[in-house]
């Protein structure tokens, strides 16, 4: 370049200062020879005299001087330098971060004469950038500690944005290409359908939640992920983006499994002695010849009722844990649905009479046998009859109907209708959750664990059946069960959290 600095200097003065930018002219020894006014504002000087004749290096903080010196040598060779960043000092000693661009002016022989240095004060931009970087770093650190990743899917362009922890959770390199299809390959085969439904449900309803298993591509270990998602739409309800989180809950699931195993063992151990107490109380009550006084008989009756209740609860706990651990025995045999229903009903004769409940039975003729496990079938009837009788006030009505389902092929339809307390509308969606009890039920019937319907739901999941209900508070409820003629146990589908 053969231009002279004189050509350029007037333009410095006309410069409209939108961004903090200052211009220095220095000689080849980095001594400042001229400057524009903006330099005063930027560095806090009062006038030119304070600075003309000083070295440019005097403006730079100690630690950065060596860097700036070597950059200066480079300008003399390369003629230009862009974006040199370093910390500089103001007159009052405070620091500012600058970015400098430099150009050399040479004489007609190409010998460097002067250097023009344009300095930008990037302190405010840097602190914003640093704040963003700091926030990102903290987020990434927190996600790593919590095993918690977050993602964003631009549905329109089908592009994914993952946080660092997402790549760690999925054991993928941060460079790996990710999309729904590539990820699906790592989801445990049995859970793929659930993951597909999770995505389509999120698009349809705006959000979804799912626990699913993932096979680590490096170790082949199975891990549990808890995912939540939210979909964002345009004005025409066209889905634009989906955002979501993934939480590694493998440890929690393992602990859950241990707890369930413990519960299974404890209830197994308790069942024997409790059943013995129950039997002996029953024997005492049935023996007409015992010399028990009326008061003693009353005590034994109380003992019998309490032990029966506790045997039931223990059985429920054991059933829940065996079903959740997926080790419930399933011994199919040909059974008559109506016979089993009647047999279970016998256990409720006393309470039905005591509460003066009108119990009606309607069974279609010529029903085929069902081929299933007797214990599981009895459990279904037990829970539903028990609820209908418990949650119906004295002198109410309960009707049990068993027929062939008119809607489904080769399927029974069991309906148990009562004229009882009903289930409040706002609590109906939780009815099949573990340990749920509606507010009105808790007041009216003290005893209850909230395990019964959860058990029935799990058994039906295992057997390929369905359960649903209609209910109106203070009018009554009807529970329906559709059960295939030959229910098929589906192993491994009933897992904790599934």
Give the Cα separation of 415 and 471 in Å (integer). 13
Q: Please give the helix or strand (H or E) that residue 404 lies within, else none.
A: strand 397-404
Q: Least distance to ligand ADP from the beta carbon of 393, Å?
A: 11
Give the Cα separation of 176 and 189 in Å (integer). 22
Which of residues 32, 323, 453, 459 is near ligand ADP by CB under 6 A?
Answer: 453
| 60 in contact with ligand ADP (CB under 6 A) | no
β partners of residue 358: 397
Give the Cα separation of 328 and 325 in Å (integer). 8
Comparison of 79 and 437: residue with beta carbon closer to ligand ADP: 437
Comparison of 102 and 448: residue with beta carbon closer to ligand ADP: 448
Stretch that binds ligand ADP, among 57-65, 140-148, 185-193, 442-450 (CB under 6 A): 442-450
Q: Least distance to ligand ADP from the beta carbon of 412, Å?
A: 20
Which of residues 436, 461, 486, 497 is near ligand ADP by CB under 6 A?
Answer: 436
| 423 in contact with ligand ADP (CB under 6 A) | yes
Kindly tell me the burial class for residue 153, based on how many C-beta atoms sit within 10 Å of its own C-beta (0-12, 13-18, 19 or more): buried
| 424 in contact with ligand ADP (CB under 6 A) | no
| 449 in contact with ligand ADP (CB under 6 A) | yes
Q: Least distance to ligand ADP from the beta carbon of 452, Å?
A: 3
* Helix runs in 330-373, H state only: 337-346, 349-354
**Residue 60 DSSP symbol:** B
Give the Cα separation of 69 and 85 in Å (integer). 13
**Which residue, judged by CB position, is nearest to ligand ADP in the bound state?**
452
Comparison of 18 and 443: residue with beta carbon closer to ligand ADP: 443
| 438 in contact with ligand ADP (CB under 6 A) | yes
Q: How many residues bind ligand ADP (CB under 6 A)?
A: 22
Whether the Cβ atoms of residue 104 and residue 76 lie closer than 8 Å to each other: yes
Which of residues 314, 315, 319, 387 is near ligand ADP by CB under 6 A?
Answer: 387
Beta strands in 260-350 (DSSP E): 332-335
| 172 in contact with ligand ADP (CB under 6 A) | no
Q: Least distance to ligand ADP from the beta carbon of 144, Å?
A: 40
C-alpha 209, offset from chain centre: 6
Whether the Cβ atoms of residue 3 and residue 105 lie closer than 8 Å to each other: yes
Q: Least distance to ligand ADP from the beta carbon of 470, Å?
A: 11
Stretch that binds ligand ADP, among 111-119, 139-147, 294-302, 444-452 (CB under 6 A): 444-452
Kindly tell me the burial class for residue 253, based on how many C-beta atoms sit within 10 Å of its own C-beta (0-12, 13-18, 19 or more): buried
397-404/466-472 β-pairing: unpaired
Q: Least distance to ligand ADP from the beta carbon of 328, Å?
A: 18
| 452 in contact with ligand ADP (CB under 6 A) | yes
Stretch that binds ligand ADP, among 28-36, 162-170, 184-192, 414-422 (CB under 6 A): 414-422
| 380 in contact with ligand ADP (CB under 6 A) | no
Name the 3-class secondary structure at 383.
Answer: helix
Which of residues 32, 418, 462, 481 is near ligand ADP by CB under 6 A?
Answer: 418
Comparison of 166 and 320: residue with beta carbon closer to ligand ADP: 320
Give the Cα separation of 15 and 301 in Å (integer). 102
Pattern of binders to ligand ADP over 179-198, x per CB under 6 A? --------------------
Closest CA to 361 of 414, 320, 410, 431: 414
Comparison of 50 and 472: residue with beta carbon closer to ligand ADP: 472
Which letter, b or e, does each residue of 108-144 get, where b requires 16 or more Cβ atoms within 10 Å of its Cβ? Answer: eeeebebbbbbbbbbbeebeeeeeeeeeeeeeeeebe
Q: Least distance to ligand ADP from the beta carbon of 448, Å?
A: 3
Which of residues 5, 332, 393, 450 is near ligand ADP by CB under 6 A?
Answer: 450
| 359 in contact with ligand ADP (CB under 6 A) | no
Phi, psi torsion values for 317, nearest 5 degrees: -60, -45
| 383 in contact with ligand ADP (CB under 6 A) | yes
| 477 in contact with ligand ADP (CB under 6 A) | yes
Comparison of 247 and 312: residue with beta carbon closer to ligand ADP: 312
Whether the Cβ atoms of residue 464 and residue 487 lie closer than 8 Å to each other: yes
Whether the Cβ atoms of residue 400 and residue 359 lie closer than 8 Å to each other: yes
Name the 3-class secondary structure at 421.
Answer: coil
| 391 in contact with ligand ADP (CB under 6 A) | yes
Q: Which residues bind ligand ADP (CB under 6 A)?
A: 383, 387-388, 391, 418, 420-423, 431, 436-438, 441, 448-454, 477
């Amino acid at each position: 370049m053969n231009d002279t600095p004189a050509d350029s200097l007037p333009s410095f003065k006309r410069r409209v200062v939108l961004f903090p930018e200052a211009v220095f002219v220095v000689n080849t020894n980095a001594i400042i020879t001229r400057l524009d006014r903006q330099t005063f504002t930027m560095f806090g000087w009062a006038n030119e005299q304070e600075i003309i004749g000083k070295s440019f290096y005097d403006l730079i903080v100690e630690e950065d001087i060596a860097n700036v010196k070597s950059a200066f040598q480079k300008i003399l060779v390369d003629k230009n330098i862009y974006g040199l960043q370093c910390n500089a000092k103001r007159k009052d000693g405070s620091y500012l971060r600058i970015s400098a661009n430099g150009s050399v002016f040479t004489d007609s022989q190409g010998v460097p004469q002067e250097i023009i240095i344009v300095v930008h004060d990037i302190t405010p931009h840097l602190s914003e950038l640093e704040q963003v970087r700091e926030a990102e770093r903290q987020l990434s650190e927190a996600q790593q500690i919590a095993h918690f990743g977050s993602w964003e899917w631009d549905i329109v362009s089908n592009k994914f944005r993952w946080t660092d922890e997402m790549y760690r959770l999925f054991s993928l390199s941060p460079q790996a290409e990710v999309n729904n299809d590539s990820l699906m390959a790592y989801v445990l085969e049995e859970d793929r359908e659930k993951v597909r439904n999770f995505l389509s449900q999120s698009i349809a309803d705006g959000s979804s939640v799912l626990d699913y298993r993932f096979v680590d591509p490096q170790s082949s270990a199975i891990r549990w992920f808890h995912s939540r998602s939210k979909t964002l739409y345009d004005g025409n309800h066209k889905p634009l983006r989906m955002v979501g989180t993934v939480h590694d809950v493998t440890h929690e699931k393992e602990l859950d499994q241990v707890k369930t195993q413990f519960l299974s063992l404890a209830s197994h151990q308790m069942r024997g002695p409790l059943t013995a107490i129950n039997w002996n109380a029953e024997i005492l009550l049935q023996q007409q010849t015992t010399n028990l006084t009326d008061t003693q008989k009353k005590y034994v009756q109380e003992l019998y009722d309490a032990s029966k209740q506790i045997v039931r609860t223990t059985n429920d706990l054991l059933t829940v844990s065996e079903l959740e651990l997926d080790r419930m025995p399933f011994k199919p045999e040909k059974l008559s649905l109506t016979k089993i229903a009647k047999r279970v009903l016998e256990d409720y004769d006393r309470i039905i009479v005591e509460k003066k409940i009108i119990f009606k039975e309607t069974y279609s003729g010529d029903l085929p046998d069902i081929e299933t496990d007797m214990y599981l079938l009895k459990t279904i009837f037990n829970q539903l009859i028990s609820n209908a009788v418990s949650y119906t006030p004295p002198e109410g009505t309960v009707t049990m109907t068993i027929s062939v389902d008119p809607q489904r092929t080769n399927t029974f339809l069991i309906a148990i209708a009562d004229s009882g307390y009903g289930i409040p509308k706002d609590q109906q969606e939780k009815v099949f959750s573990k340990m749920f009890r509606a507010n009105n039920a808790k007041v009216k019937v003290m005893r209850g664990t909230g395990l019964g319907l959860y058990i029935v739901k799990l058994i039906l999941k295992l057997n390929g059946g369905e359960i649903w209900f209609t209910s109106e508070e203070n009018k009554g409820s009807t529970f329906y069960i559709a059960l295939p003629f030959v229910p098929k146990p589906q192993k491994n589908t009933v897992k904790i959290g599934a």
